[in-house]
């Protein structure tokens, strides 16, 4: 057979191959659609049977919502179906004001896990810790709760009490905490200086006002004639929050480079966020404090500044939430919070279920003045009107310096970071 005959046969066969390919693709799609149809038919059959034969009359809406909850619960801990009431609760979260315990929770292995208690709020003051597992709320087991069920139960009017029962890793028996709800007004950013030339900024979460609060804090720290030798950015026990705010916060420290990227199954879920030079970025060295309560948006900032060689990470391994959720409002006022992508650090690493490992590992150690349960023991110096010791008078000196020393005595991770920044020129040469 000559070349022309071969070519003609190939041309004749080409349409046949295209048709077969299309048919095979159509068959695969049809098989998937058919399987979905069969399952929907089964669901409708069960629902019809329940409506007609269940011992008591049912509310179809409650049953269908329960079925949707079960479907979404089978996906991952961060995908949630929310009733209209629960959706309103979520919208309140990002505003920074609500009435509750001041506690951030997640789902893991069908258990409610404390990611972080918010500083100086009721749960924190009561002694609830990151990693605690909540097994009961007001005596009711949380075994079949969704994350939004738990949030709704924990919130309530200011002044009302809620009892949570937790299991803690180093305790043999469950512990009950009776906590009085309060208005939780979360100021996202706090700041101060140490030794007059080391800036300290604490970001507790990422809400709508975080970037604006950080901008104000940076301007106040840099006000005056003092030249900052370094800056500590404290993201410990920061459970995350709004992705957009974490991008803005990262951009405030970076002149260029990728901040974070996301990738999912659809084109809409793929994004690359990059930094822009606005001329206002801090020029001093930065150390970020991280720990097991550093999650989600806080991990984005940590990864962005670390991979762009803008900050050193000090502390312990982060939480490891590397997924992106979107909120889809539904017609009846309810909403679906659905995981649509994983995010990646500038180095292309996914931290999902892995977390970020610090450059300098420093585990937090409790101050010597606390006992086993973490409560502070009263000493002579705590008694009103006590006679001051010589060293105490020296430490208190000008008042503010004494407070600085006391703070650093209680926080070995912060002390390590500040010591490194104060000796940065020596540290760079090592």
Say whether 307 is catalytic: yes
Say whether 321 is catalytic: yes
Could you tell me how far CA 394 lies from the centroid of its own chain?
41
Point out the catalytic residue in the list 121, 133, 321, 337.
Answer: 321
Give the dihedral sign, CA 90/94/97/101.
Answer: positive
Residue 382, domain member (yes or no): no
Is the domain of 159 the same as that of 292? Answer: no
Residue 303, domain member (yes or no): yes
Residue 137, domain member (yes or no): yes
Domain that holds residue 133: 97-185
CB 295 within 8 A of CB 317: no
Point out the catalytic residue in the list 296, 302, 316, 323.
Answer: 296
CB 73 within 8 A of CB 146: yes
In this prediction, residue 18 carries a pLDDT of 44
- Quote the tokens at residue 304: 């962005």
Is the domain of 304 the same as that of 224? Answer: yes
Say whether 229 is catalytic: no
Residue 389, domain member (yes or no): no
Is the domain of 164 the same as that of 258? Answer: no
In this prediction, residue 98 carries a pLDDT of 85
CA distance 18 to 59: 51
In this prediction, residue 400 carries a pLDDT of 62
The runs of H, that is alpha helices, within 316-368 are none
Domain of residue 227, CATH code: 3.90.226.10
Point out the catalytic residue in the list 93, 132, 307, 411.
Answer: 307
In 3D space, the residue among 238, 239, 322 whose CA is nearest the CA of residue 288 turns out to be 238
Is the domain of 320 the same as that of 351? Answer: yes
Is the domain of 218 the same as that of 277? Answer: yes
In this prediction, residue 14 carries a pLDDT of 42
Q: Total domain count for the chain?
A: 3
Query: Tens-of-pLDDT digits for all 430 residues of the chain?
Result: 454 444 343 444 444 444 434 444 455 555 567 888 889 999 999 999 999 999 999 999 999 999 999 999 899 988 999 988 888 877 776 666 788 999 888 887 778 999 888 878 999 999 999 899 999 999 999 988 888 889 889 999 999 999 999 999 989 999 999 999 999 887 899 999 999 999 999 999 999 999 999 999 999 998 766 789 999 999 998 989 899 999 999 999 999 999 999 999 999 999 999 999 999 999 999 999 999 999 999 999 999 999 999 999 999 999 999 999 999 999 999 999 999 999 999 999 999 999 999 999 999 997 765 444 444 444 545 554 555 555 555 445 455 666 667 778 889 999 999 999 999 987 665 5
Is the domain of 274 the same as that of 220? Answer: yes
In this prediction, residue 368 carries a pLDDT of 65
In 3D space, the residue among 347, 304, 289, 295 whose CA is nearest the CA of residue 322 turns out to be 295
Domain of residue 179, CATH code: 2.30.42.10
Is the domain of 279 the same as that of 141? Answer: no
- Quote the tokens at residue 124: 């924190």
Is the domain of 158 the same as that of 274? Answer: no
End-to-end alpha carbon distance in the chain? 76
């Amino acid at each position: 057979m000559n070349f022309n005959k071969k070519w003609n046969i190939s041309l004749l066969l080409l349409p046949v191959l295209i048709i077969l390919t299309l048919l095979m693709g159509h068959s695969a799609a049809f098989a998937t659609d058919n399987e979905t149809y069969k399952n929907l038919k089964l669901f409708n059959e069960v629902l019809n049977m329940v409506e007609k034969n269940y011992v008591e009359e049912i509310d179809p809406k409650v049953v269908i919502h329960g079925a949707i909850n079960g479907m979404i619960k089978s996906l991952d801990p961060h995908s949630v179906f929310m009733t209209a009431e629960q959706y309103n609760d979520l919208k309140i979260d990002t505003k920074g004001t609500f009435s509750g315990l001041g506690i951030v929770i997640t789902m893991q292995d069908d258990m409610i896990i404390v990611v972080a208690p918010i500083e100086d709020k009721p749960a924190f003051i009561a002694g609830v810790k990151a990693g605690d597992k909540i097994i009961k709320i007001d005596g009711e087991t949380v075994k079949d709760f969704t994350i939004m069920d738990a949030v709704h139960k924990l919130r309530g009017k200011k002044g009302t009490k809620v009892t949570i029962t937790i299991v803690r890793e180093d305790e043999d028996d469950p512990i009950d905490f009776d906590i009085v709800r309060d208005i939780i007004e979360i100021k996202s950013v706090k700041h101060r200086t140490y030794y007059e030339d080391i800036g300290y900024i604490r970001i507790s979460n990422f809400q709508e006002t975080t970037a604006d609060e950080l901008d104000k804090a940076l301007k106040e720290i840099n006000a005056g004639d003092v030249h900052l030798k370094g800056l500590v950015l404290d993201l410990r026990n920061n459970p995350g929050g709004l992705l957009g705010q974490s991008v803005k916060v990262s951009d405030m420290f970076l002149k260029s480079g990728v901040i974070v990227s996301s990738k999912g199954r659809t084109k809409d879920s793929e994004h690359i966020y990059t930094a822009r030079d606005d001329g206002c970025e801090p020029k001093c060295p930065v150390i970020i404090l991280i720990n097991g309560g550093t999650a989600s948006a806080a991990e984005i900032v940590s990864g962005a500044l670390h991979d762009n060689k803008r900050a050193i990470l000090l502390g312990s391994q982060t939480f490891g939430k590397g997924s992106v959720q979107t909120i889809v409002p539904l017609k009846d006022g309810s909403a679906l919070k659905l995981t649509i992508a994983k995010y990646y650090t500038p180095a292309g690493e996914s931290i999902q279920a892995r977390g970020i490992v610090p450059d300098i590992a420093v585990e937090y150690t409790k101050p010597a003045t606390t006992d086993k349960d973490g409560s502070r023991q009263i000493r002579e110096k705590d008694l009103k009107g006590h006679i001051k010791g010589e060293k105490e008078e020296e430490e208190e000196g000008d008042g503010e310096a004494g407070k600085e020393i006391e703070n650093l005595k209680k926080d070995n991770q912060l002390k390590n970071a500040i010591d490194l920044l104060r000796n940065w020129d020596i540290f760079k040469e090592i």
